[in-house]
């Protein structure tokens, strides 16, 4: 998937005019990019459109318009765009209650290494988590982790040909396995080259 450049971004003025429609488009797109893993965890699969939205929002909020600063945002978010043989996702532990979240994050240390995806007929794919920086301590995990799932050429071909996809978590304190819904599976298949 092609990385974003400055030419792909709206200026602040253009974005102010386009934001409502662009945001609606992204929200609709993201419906096919979220995979619930039980009640309190989810994978949000990133792609070029989700990253463009993230960058546009950062530029808007921070009122960034200098070319060097725009490039810094591109450099931060472009690595989260899939490369054609992988999927990239934000993994989130979602506990609305603050105390419940604090306790869960202490219980779930290491969970980011226990998430998996599985293409029908192949072994589980474990993520490469938090390549940019470690988000956990020995006492607690973070509520957000960034993950890359690398596929073999055979897995890519199988997904492109309609193979099913499963996902789960094998952490002793949080076990779940799900069939990836067709709409999410098809969206993920489109990320592959």
Q: Are residues 56 and 128 in the same domain?
A: no
Q: Are residues 158 and 97 in the same domain?
A: yes
Q: Are residues 19 and 107 in the same domain?
A: no
In the chain, the number of structural domains is 2
Q: Are residues 94 and 167 in the same domain?
A: yes
What's residue 133's pLDDT?
Answer: 63
DSSP state, 190? T
Instruction: Find the CATH number of the domain harbouring 134.
Output: 2.60.40
Q: Are residues 105 and 118 in the same domain?
A: yes
Between helix 182-189 and helix 153-160 the angle, nearest 10°, is 130
Q: Are residues 73 and 146 in the same domain?
A: no
Q: Are residues 95 and 150 in the same domain?
A: yes
Contact 172, 38 (CB under 8 A): no
Q: Are residues 57 and 101 in the same domain?
A: no
The burial of 10, by beta-carbon neighbours within 10 Å (0-12 exposed, 13-18 middle, 19 or more buried), is given as: middle
Q: Which domain holds residue 139?
A: 35-45+83-193
Q: What is the pLDDT along the chain (193 residues), one digit of tens a residue?
A: 799 999 999 999 999 999 999 999 999 999 999 999 999 999 999 999 999 999 999 999 999 999 999 999 999 999 999 999 999 999 999 999 999 999 999 999 999 999 999 999 999 999 999 876 666 778 899 999 999 999 999 999 999 999 999 999 999 999 999 999 999 999 999 999 9
Q: What gap in Å lies between CA 149 and CA 107, rounded to an integer?
A: 24
Q: Are residues 156 and 124 in the same domain?
A: yes
Q: Are residues 179 and 139 in the same domain?
A: yes
Q: Are residues 74 and 125 in the same domain?
A: no
Q: Are residues 118 and 181 in the same domain?
A: yes
């Amino acid at each position: 998937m092609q990385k974003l450049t400055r030419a792909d971004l709206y200026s602040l003025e253009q974005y102010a005019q386009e934001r409502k429609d662009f945001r609606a488009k992204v929200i609709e797109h993201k419906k096919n990019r979220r995979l619930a893993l039980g009640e309190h965890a989810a994978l949000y699969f990133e792609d070029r459109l989700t990253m463009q939205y993230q960058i546009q929002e950062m530029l808007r909020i921070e009122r960034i318009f200098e070319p060097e600063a725009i490039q810094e945002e591109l450099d931060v978010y472009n690595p989260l765009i899939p490369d054609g043989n992988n999927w990239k996702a934000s993994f989130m532990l979602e506990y609305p209650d603050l105390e419940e979240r604090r306790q869960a994050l202490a219980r779930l240390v290491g969970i980011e290494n226990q998430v998996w995806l599985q293409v029908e007929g192949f072994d589980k794919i474990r993520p490469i988590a938090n390549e940019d920086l470690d988000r956990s301590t020995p006492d607690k995990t973070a509520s957000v982790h960034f993950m890359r799932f690398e596929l073999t050429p055979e897995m890519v071909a199988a997904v492109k040909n309609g193979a099913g996809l499963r996902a789960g978590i094998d952490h002793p304190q949080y076990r779940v396995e799900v069939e990836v819904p067709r709409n999410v599976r098809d969206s993920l298949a489109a990320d592959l080259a």
